[in-house]
Structure 1
């Protein structure tokens, strides 16, 4: 086979492989967006109908939740840096109280030209959430496009892993964003980011 024919064959194979990867990536992205939308729809239904909803006492007052469009750029794999000295942290709440946590790890990642570092806490008070991780953060959208006292992000322990997934498309408001009678911990000072996280839930009250 002539060299020119071999070269043409290689080019054709590379194009086919690239198209297949592109198609598969598009499918994965579509499935991801659909899953996020499904979870948002389920939360909307919970808010409207559940007796555990923050709107349970006045369901007619619920106006619907607002979100940024799903953006896969905000599903981030961050470096996980465990905290060696597990000191206790007291977080102030919106109603002037305090809640106790233990420093668990730092999640570090780069976004929009900034190196970001978020403190992940572990719940230590007795109850069903003892041992669970807690992450509250503020960013450049806070008090403008999103709730001024910060948002929350659920994260999961993966034993032995040196990375952790931060999916900001799943960022959500604490209950005190909807009604003043709820007590919600505020983000620690080191979790006030210098970037705008335009993902997840927006401010409820315009």
Structure 2
């Protein structure tokens, strides 16, 4: 009993010490400046969602590539069928061996490298996971090999450069900007980085690496979010989170957030006003990671993007 009491008391003292930590305020900023910067962020976000090559709302196809050969073109009997106004019956054949992807063009195929060079012989394609992506063109279509970080799976991603959505797309409504949702967080690293397996919307699994957690105070309580570094070059943490607004007016499966890396003392600032929808809100042709159970907040984060009033697809 004495041992248990001492251990319980130790835990209580540790927790009390954590809660008693002197939490600094976020760097001061005027409301006008804060609102202006937030609006600029919103405008930049819309531009990125309709941008050629990478704009989510332009995506029109996503096919997972098995080992072996996968032909594609407008022939309805093929594994991957593309619009006949853009593609010949057989535009080409994709050969996958392990993580290597080779493209064999069809006879007289109009396939080109994005810069305009006609593809006349078999070539290796670099996925968008490599940092040296091979972008292809076929009529008004763009094509590339997509490799989601944290998985060995590969897909053929296709988008429409001439999509009218580039002009008509509008961001979903956001909550009114609120400086109260700009909070200080303490980064608490693990002794060693950990694997973080999460489910994606295709019922597959993605494995991230997490260096630690972001701890913050809101609504009179302490909360934590597991943070992810998507690459060694990352300048921010990637956070997948769910909160109780998902039952009312934010995306039901959760939202994403980018948080600046902590300073040398372990502090950073979380701006929940910049919580944003994952790609699967805007396109059925996406591979969205779902928040891990540990990142389901017992909190209503009334900040950031809401879900669209009308389905985006």
Bucket of the pairwise TM-score, normalised by the shorter protein = 0.7 to 0.9
What SS does structure 2 have at the residue aligned with 1:87?
strand
Residue 29 (structure 1) aligned with residue 133 (structure 2): no
Name the structure 2 match of 1:108: 215
What SS does structure 2 have at the residue aligned with 1:158?
coil
Task: Tell me how many residue pairs correspond in the alignment.
Answer: 176
For structure 1, which segment, 49-58 or 82-91, has the greater mean C-alpha deviation from structure 2 after superposition?
A: 49-58
Question: Unpaired runs of 5+ in structure 2?
Answer: 1-27, 59-159
Name the structure 2 match of 1:7: none
Give the conservation status (yes or no) of the 8 Å contact 1:178–1:205.
no
User: How does 1:71-86 map onto structure 2 within 5 Å?
Assistant: 71-86=178-193
Which consecutive aligned stretches of 4+ in structure 1 deviate over 3 angstroms post-superposition?
45-51, 57-61
Name the structure 2 match of 1:55: 57
What SS does structure 2 have at the residue aligned with 1:30?
helix
Which residue, out of 184, 201, 206, partners 1:99?
206
Bigger relative CO (Cα 8 Å, ≥ 6 apart): 1
Which one has the bigger helix percentage? 1
Residue 139 (structure 1) aligned with residue 252 (structure 2): no
Tell me how far 1:115 sits from its aligned partner: 1.8
Residue 90 (structure 1) aligned with residue 90 (structure 2): no
What SS does structure 2 have at the residue aligned with 1:104?
strand
Give the whole-Å Cα distance in 2 for the aligned partners of 1:46 and 1:118: 26
Tell me how far 1:205 sits from its aligned partner: 4.4
What SS does structure 2 have at the residue aligned with 1:69?
coil
Residues 162 and 66 of structure 1: CA distance in aligned 2, closer, same or farther (over 3 Å) = same
Name the structure 1 match of 2:271: 167
- 1:64-90 alpha-carbon deviations (Å, 9 max, x no partner): 321111100011111211111322111
Question: Unpaired runs of 5+ in structure 1?
Answer: 1-24, 124-128
Tell me how far 1:142 sits from its aligned partner: 1.1
Report the structure number with the largest CA radius of gyration.
2
Tell me how far 1:161 sits from its aligned partner: 2.8
Name the structure 1 match of 2:257: 153
- 1:32-54 alpha-carbon deviations (Å, 9 max, x no partner): 11110111122224435645222
What SS does structure 2 have at the residue aligned with 1:153?
strand
What SS does structure 2 have at the residue aligned with 1:78?
strand
Name the structure 1 match of 2:294: 190
TM-score, normalization by structure 2: 0.52
Residues 82 and 97 of structure 1: CA distance in aligned 2, closer, same or farther (over 3 Å) = same
Which one has the bigger strand percentage? 2
Give the whole-Å Cα distance in 1 for the aligned partners of 2:257 and 2:49: 18
Tell me how far 1:160 sits from its aligned partner: 2.1
